Amino acid sequence: MKQMMEIEFTKHCVAISLMMILTCSTTAVSSPHVTAMFAFCDSLTDPGNNNYLSSLAKANYVPYGVDFNGGTPSGRFCNGKTFVDYIGELLGHPILLPYTSPFATGTNVVRGVNYASAAGGILEDTGRHLGERFSLSAQVVNFESTLSELRSQMGDEEIVNYLAKAIVVMSLGSNDYINNYMLPSFYSSSYYIYAPKDFADLLINSYTRQILALCSLGLRKFLLGGVGPLGCIPNQLAGGTASTGKCVAYANNVAAIFNERLKSLVDDLNTNYNDNDNDNDNDNDSRTIFAYGNTLGATLDILNNANAYGTDSSSTLFSLTLLFLHFSYLS
């Protein structure tokens, strides 16, 4: 599983590295180019926020965490580190604390915070049947609380520069499908009401509002991860609509529609909110940049070309099953 997470991480490194190259200032090489990282995600990067919530979506028990921090389950929905943990390592940063951790205060939050919450989604209602969770808008509110702490530790100019050099990792949307759109008996925003393209538009419109809210608070560097292959997770496979060893095409297709909309959003944001034309050499670190992470393509490449990654298809499928294990009881 650790190998699998490292593979996934390398796929995301391309986008992160691009962001770092584009934001490096040639005149301020002695200052840190990435001051902090803030993660707004779901269960794939939840570091234990849901441990402190009344929720069915938790992973603070074995076998989760067997390869992390001495084998004690942390609340991560995998046996080791998440891709956000690996990005932090690349940046030379400590592992981000969960927002709900009692230690996430004072100077401990200066290098960033992880707000990710299992069952959380872009839409407020998503994951409601699983109990408490932080939706994206709630995660943004939680960031505002962190920002208040940071402002108490920095001057006005310092906090502006700090936020402009921080990286924002956002990866949401999966729960909006498997814990909303595909559950018509629970949600009025299901496929009974919305065609796939209309639902993707609904998600993107809501997503855009929250992204721009973070921009208005001073954040400037964004990595937006797409939705993975939803048709390959246990609760979709358990429906029996796909051939043995195959993923559910419909679920992957609706995920692909969302991802196409997200890629278009990234292009639009870079066109409309990128102030590079006004930059000079001393302003490079304050550029507004958006990058897209192709989670779906990366994971399908692992499934379809397992041997290229040093493992066989059966162990790859087993590892992916572990990665998405937390969804298996939701079908």
Q: Is the predicted pLDDT of residue 179 greater than 80, yes or no? A: yes
Residue-level pLDDT at 91: 85
Report whether 186 contacts 176 (CB < 8 A): no
If you average pLDDT over every residue of the chain, what do you get?
83
Report whether 137 contacts 149 (CB < 8 A): no
Residue-level pLDDT at 308: 76
Report whether 328 contacts 234 (CB < 8 A): yes
CA distance 327 to 177: 12
Residue-level pLDDT at 69: 86
Which pTM was predicted? 0.85
Q: Is the predicted pLDDT of residue 43 greater than 80, yes or no? A: yes
Q: Is the predicted pLDDT of residue 3 greater than 80, yes or no? A: no
Name the one residue in this structure whose structure tokens are 């998405």: 324
pLDDT tens-digit series, residues 82-125:
989 988 988 889 999 999 999 999 999 999 999 999 999 999 99
Residue-level pLDDT at 148: 97
If one compares 235 and 105, the residue with the highest pLDDT of the two is: 105
Name the one residue in this structure whose structure tokens are 């989760």: 64
Q: Report residue 316's pLDDT band, with 50, 70 and 90 as the boundaries.
A: very low
Please give the DSSP secondary-structure letter assigned to residue 55: B
In 3D, which of 189, 163, 166, 168 has the Cα closest to residue 177?
Answer: 189
Share of the chain above pLDDT 70, in %: 80
pLDDT tens-digit series, residues 140-162:
999 999 999 999 999 999 999 99
CA distances from 96 to 15, 48, 215, 284 (A): 20, 11, 21, 26
Structure tokens at 92: 């030379």
Residue-level pLDDT at 5: 38
Residue-level pLDDT at 232: 87
Domains of the chain by start residue, with CATH? 2-326 (3.40.50)
In 3D, which of 181, 167, 186, 51 has the Cα closest to residue 111?
Answer: 167
Strands 289-293 and 112-114, sheet pairing: unpaired
Total residues belonging to the chain: 331
Q: Is the predicted pLDDT of residue 211 greater than 50, yes or no? A: yes
Residue-level pLDDT at 183: 93
CB contact set of 26 (below 8 Å; sequence gap of 6+): 281, 284
